[in-house]
Amino acid sequence: MHRQKVAGFSLIETLTVLIIMGVLTSFAVVVYGGYRRAARAKSAARQFENLFNTARALAINQNAYFQAVIDPNTSGLWIDQVDGSGRVVAPKITTPEIWSAYVRLVELSVNGVPAPPVLTRILFRPNGTSDAARLVLFCEGGTANAAGEFLTVKLYSPTARSRTFAGNRP
């Protein structure tokens, strides 16, 4: 009798393909988690930079004093208009924003002085200058020793411009 050859995969071939797919999938999940953490941290840093840029533009365009307000307890950000002595003239002239719950504000200093974990105000003047500020952000879900999980946002006083630095905690 003639025996016909049956086309198909053996059990060993099928298991090998499944194991390879499982390894690749687990690798992809780990890589995606790191990407998502980094994206959240960068998004929060952009929110701080946008807050500073908006406060600077308002101060220059309206020839008035404004302050960027950061609330570490509620993760809130907004801008107030103030007078020359620092009293609030118009509160929350921008809609308060909230940065990602996965991003923690580790360190905040204004003019070189560490700010307590309460409402922190950064003054923007009509001449285009501001207080100097330094914010260190940490994205939750990673290890404290891992590179790239800390972002530092610096606000430079003479120009009221901000810049973000990535990497290990400075």
User: What is the token pair recorded at 156?
Assistant: 């430079």
What whole-number distance in Å separates Cα of residue 60 and Cα of residue 28? 47
- Please, what is the average pLDDT of the chain? 88
Q: Which CATH class is domain 12-167?
A: alpha beta
Q: Taking residues 68-86, what's their average pLDDT?
A: 93
CA distance 58 to 126: 8
SS3 59: helix
Question: pLDDT at residue 140 above 90?
Answer: no
pLDDT at 146 over 90: no
Q: Quick: pLDDT tens for 13-65.
A: 899 999 999 999 998 888 887 788 788 888 999 999 999 999 999 999 999 99
Under the banding of pLDDT at 50, 70 and 90, the label for residue 6 is low
